[in-house]
Amino acid sequence: MSSEEVGTLNLADPKAMRAMAHPVRMALMELLAVTPTLTATQASEALGESPANCAFHLRTLAKYGFVQEAGGGKGRERPWTRVHRSINLSTEGQADYQAELAAHALSEAYGERMIERIRYAYGNTSWPPGWGDAVISSDSVRFLTAEEAIGVSKEIRAIIDRYEGRRTDPDSRPAGALPVQIAHYIFPMAGLAGVAGRPGRPQAADNDH
């Protein structure tokens, strides 16, 4: 396998899911999403963890195929790189109950991490100049089939992917560019189905912040 990412990993192995559901490992994967390579020492400086601890977690991620050595270096100065650009949990249609439990735990861990980050973002008042108005939230309710919902997610991803090259090529980033987290969630609101669409009912409002 080359050091370049090979696209999307459809993650179905419950052991690998449980391995990923660790705060340091999730943080390491996030760091490797914005830099082509990372050593345990560099990770230590970014995360406030010991180099030995970062090296251990990088080796664990490598054991389950999430990262690999990029070549060169030695010991804690060995650079690591992500194997896949993105990861999808893939358990639908499987009879493996352990995989479902592991996927739920990993999704919950990611969700809690995201909620904490959102709380920080919207409570922060000291953004760099010009970035205050770029902290945006938006939510909408639309009537879609499951296939259409999946299609909307793919369309959003296609827009975000226009800027993919900047992630691994610092020279392509314009002046003033910062790492920006773009998250979207799509899920059915079954609790509204019983009243939605009745004559005389108002349409659901969009909320942009």
Q: Hey, what CATH class is 1-95 in?
A: mainly alpha
What are the residue ranges of CATH 1.10.10.10 in the chain? 1-95
Q: Is the pTM of this model over 0.75?
A: no
CA distance 176 to 154: 28
Residues 49-103 pLDDT 10s: 999 999 999 999 999 999 999 988 777 789 999 998 888 776 665 567 788 888 8
Residues 91-128 pLDDT 10s: 665 567 788 888 888 888 888 988 888 888 888 888 88
Query: What pLDDT, on a 0 to 100 scale, did the predictor assign at position 3?
Result: 36
Strand boundaries in the chain, DSSP class E: 8-11, 67-69, 80-82, 86-89, 138-139, 207-208
CA distance 21 to 105: 7
